[in-house]
Structure 1
Amino acid sequence: MSLAAALGTATIYPLQPAIADVANSLDASLAAVGVALACGPMGYMVGLGLLVPLLDRFPPGRVLSAQVGVLAVALFVSAVVGSVWALGPVIGVIGACSAVGAGLSSVVGRLASPHRRATTLGIVTAGISAGILAGRIVGGWLAEVIGWRGMLMVFAAACAAVAVGLPLVIPGTRGGPERGYLATLRSIPGLFVRFTALRSAATRGALWFFAFCAMWAGLAVALSQPPYSYSAERIGMYALAGLLGILATRVSGMCTDRIGARRVILVGLVIAGAAAATVGFALPSTAAALACLALFDAGLFAAQVANQSIVLAIDPAAPARFNSAYMLVYFVGGSLGTAFGTAAVERFGWPATTTIAAAAIAVAAALTLRADDRSV
């Protein structure tokens, strides 16, 4: 399941390093290809809202196998398109189906025993984190070796293999028959009104994902400008700092099962907030900046596992709609952070941007401290 989560998540990223090659091949501008690639995150939001809730209604092995199978077909189609305008809709389908990682997290919430839920979630989340990191790195390398079309074919073949394997490893259980799919979709907005734990988790999660995306989007702008003026390849290598975050998800899951979610969230936010405040002044030193970014990622990834375990425990018999609601709010925060980080560095500078990110994390920590035991 962790491997499937990694592969599914990775498929939304591999074309990003090859954007210039795609533009040249399709005789299109970089801006047009950028618009096509932006359909990926938009599709992902659609997948969170429409595909993840299916797992509460139908056998998860079949749903996820079909989802990854469609992902394989979409990747193949994107490898043979001849127009950038045809590429955009296909990338949107890829983005929607890449939400398989969120779906697998929901399956964990249902199938894992209560005292091992966060530990198992940490394993799957480690796969998602690895996919975010590896998608760009492996995609860039394969595009350099066999071209961007060949690279997409490799990803399509891998997805086809995983689609065959998923029904063999995921039990054929299904959710309760009392709620239909459309009724499930209609119920999602009301979950925030009825469940304080979901409302609290989504709010603090959106705050720190805002900070996360603002930092990484702003970092690319800061490093591309004088006095650094780094190349895109060198800037991309800073993403390797996220390797510590993969380890943090495993450790966080085990600690959450042992000492509770509140403590893990607070420790993660303290580490991430301190790292965000420090990296604003540590950028001239590559080693110091990478250390801060590694701690920043590790802290927030750890908090995310603990926070998501709370959401999945609200209704273990039908966790997918709760996870869908949570992740939608979470990614809205991230989208706002991406837009803010890019503009803030140009307007206010890197230190001010990191200070605002640290402030958002501090607010999330304060909300966690004030929440009652039923919300954490």
Structure 2
Amino acid sequence: MKTTPYHPFTVPLMAISAGVTVANIYYNQPILNDISAATGATAGEAGRVSTLAQLGYGLGMFFVVPLGDKLDRRKLITGLTSLLFFSLLLLSFARSIQQICLLSFFVGIGSTPAQILLPMSATISTGDRGKTVGRVFAGILIGILGARVVAGAVSDLLGWRYVFAISALLVLIVTVLLYRYLPVIPPKFQGSYPQLLSSTVKLIGEYSVLRQAALLGAFTFGTFCSFWTTLTFHLSAAPLHYSASRIGLFGLIAIGGALAAPLFGKLADKGQVYKSLFLTVSMVIVSILLLKIFPHSILLLSVSIFLLDVGVQATQITNFTRIYSLHEHAHSRLNTVYMTAYFMGAALGTSCGVAAWQYGGWDMATWQLLLWSVIALVIVGWSARAQSRAVPAEQ
């Protein structure tokens, strides 16, 4: 099997497709209150929709995404987007919270092509690899952050079921286009599936930097997802009583934060990795303190969202810089380890956030957010100390 050349439209299509697919994990967050009202579910039961979507994505990252090194990526990607299409279509007709939770799990698995397209963009590019990967990653970020805006607006205008129905149509369109325009790339891994997973797991033991980055990513993204899930309940409750569309508009602030985050990547490029991480995680802590001290100030909530998103996304960019320098020929599997931990942290953070909200409302929710972010800062300190000890040992 030979590598086929790619069309000029391929990279923009990959960026758009990555955003269209990954957005499906986040569409549910601003409309949880609507789902709860329509199905008669409690806030805790509705919160499981987000948890199971994140869990499906995390498991798909570990068990499915590594197959990109073994199978025809075009067929793997379009097979997963087909699963996503049917799951979304069924979700738009689901009547019970149990059906919605189950289908959300499969939506999570079907949304994983974003993490196959990202390393694939590096494979097909030559001299402009950084620019190409950056375009696809930008598509992922816009999909993640824009999902809340779109979901809130569509839910208010047409109803929450149309969020999933319209998304199913978009997924069907990109599936057809991906099959038409993605190049065929010969698989590099010739071993069995168990050997593929085994080689991925071995990377965890081989690289301490990977372990540190994965753990940090889990806690920072867990904080991020816990915040956005509990924010929906907070803003829709007294005294604010915000609609889904108004809640979703806060995603626009998050997009601005994500666009500012790459500026912190320059610190990592200059070798100032831990200075960057201390700064970005500290921004997350400051944002949560503002949420706790001023729970009903919309101005300070907006500032907090901006700081939180800059902090979390900049931490991710710095972590990517760290792990991709470890093994030039194992980017997909390094990405699998990191992103699996990342989204398992998201699932756990969402679950803890919902539980905290049930037991103590916004006050308890912000306490657990603060705990997660402080643990993240401790991980940065521990990693910096471990690195300072390792450098003299190597000299």
Change (3 A) 1:236 1:204: same
Structure 2 match to 1:289: 301
Contact 2:19 2:144 in 1 (8 A): yes
Q: Does 2:298 correspond to 1:317?
A: no
Match of 1:159 in 2: 171
229-238 vs 87-96, which moves further: 229-238
- What are the superposed Cα offsets for residues 214-256 of structure 1, whole Å, 9 maximum, x if unpaired? 4444545555666x45435354443433122330354455665
Question: 1:223 and 1:304 mapped to 2: Cα distance?
Answer: 27
How far off is 1:269 after superposition? 2.5
**1:190 has 2:202 as partner:** yes
Provide the C-alpha distance between the structure 2 equivalents of 1:33 and 1:271, rounded to a whole number of angstroms: 30
Counterpart Cα distance in 2 of 1:232 and 1:146: 13
> Post-superposition shift, 1:29?
2.6
- Report 1:35-114 matches (<5 A): 35=48, 38-81=51-94, 85-108=98-121, 110-111=123-124
Alpha-carbon deviations, 1:246-277, whole Å to 9, x = none?
A: 30354455665565654543442343333333
Residues 1:298 and 2:313 are matched in the alignment:
no
List alignment gaps of at least 5 residues for structure 2. 1-13
- Provide closer, same or farther for how the CA distance between residues 351 and 207 of structure 1 changes in structure 2, counting only shifts above 3 A: closer
1:332–1:229 distance in 2 versus 1, CA, 3 Å: same
Whether the aligned pair in 1 keeps the contact of 2:261 and 2:311 (CA below 8 Å) is: no
Distance 1:167 1:321 in 2: 24
Question: 1:335: which partner in 2?
Answer: 347
Is contact 1:255-1:264 (8 Å) kept?
yes
Aligned counterpart, 1:201:
213
State the identity %.
Answer: 25
| Cα drift, residue 296 of structure 1 | 1.8
The answer to whether the 8 Å contact 2:122/2:129 transfers is no
Match of 1:30 in 2: 41
- Conserved in 2, the CA contact under 8 Å of 1:110 and 1:318? no
Indicate conservation of the 8 Å contact 2:57/2:343, yes or no: no
Q: Tell me, yes or no, if the aligned pair for 1:122 and 1:305 is still in contact at 8 Å.
A: no
Q: Which among 377, 385, 388 is matched to residue 362 of structure 1?
A: 377
1:330-351 CA-partner distances (Å, limit 9, x unpaired): 2232333333344446186466
For the aligned residue pairs, the C-alpha RMSD in angstroms reads 3.5
Please state how far the C-alpha of 1:35 moved relative to its aligned partner: 5.0
1:190 aligned partner, one-letter code? K
Aligned residues: 371
Q: 1:252 to 1:151 in 2, by over 3 A?
A: same
- Hey, what's the Cα distance between the residues in 1 that align with 2:119 and 2:61? 11
1:327-370 Cα shifts (integer Å, max 9, x gaps)? 22222323333333444461864664454344223213313422
Q: In structure 2, what residue type is equivalent to 1:142?
A: V
TM-score (norm 1): 0.82
TM-score by length of 2: 0.78
| 3-state SS of paired residue (1:30) | coil
Does 2:145 match 1:130? Answer: no
Which stretch of the first structure deviates more once superposed, 180-189 or 5-14? 180-189
Residue 372 of structure 1: SS of its match in structure 2? helix
Say if 1:114 and 1:193 are closer, same or farther in 2 by CA, change over 3 A: farther
